Amino acid sequence: MNRPELRRQLQALARRHPDIHPYTLALRFQAQTGRILTGQQVKQLLSEPGNGRDQPSKL
């Protein structure tokens, strides 16, 4: 699973649970996918800028 796909899945999970702590989000993600992430990794992935579709294009 590549980084943009990870971020997309985490963002979808975070939207379903908006007030959840990153550690708890990591545990839910692990339960759904089997992939182990730390709360810090989740926090970092969610804070990264999007894949360009959400942002205006740069010339």
Q: What is the pTM of this model?
A: 0.74
Q: d(Cα 37, Cα 30) in Å, to the nearest integer?
A: 7
- pLDDT tens digit sequence for 20-31: 999 999 999 999
Burial of 39 (0-12, 13-18, 19+ CB in 10 A): middle
- pLDDT tens digit sequence for 13-58: 999 998 999 999 999 999 999 999 999 999 999 998 765 444 443 4
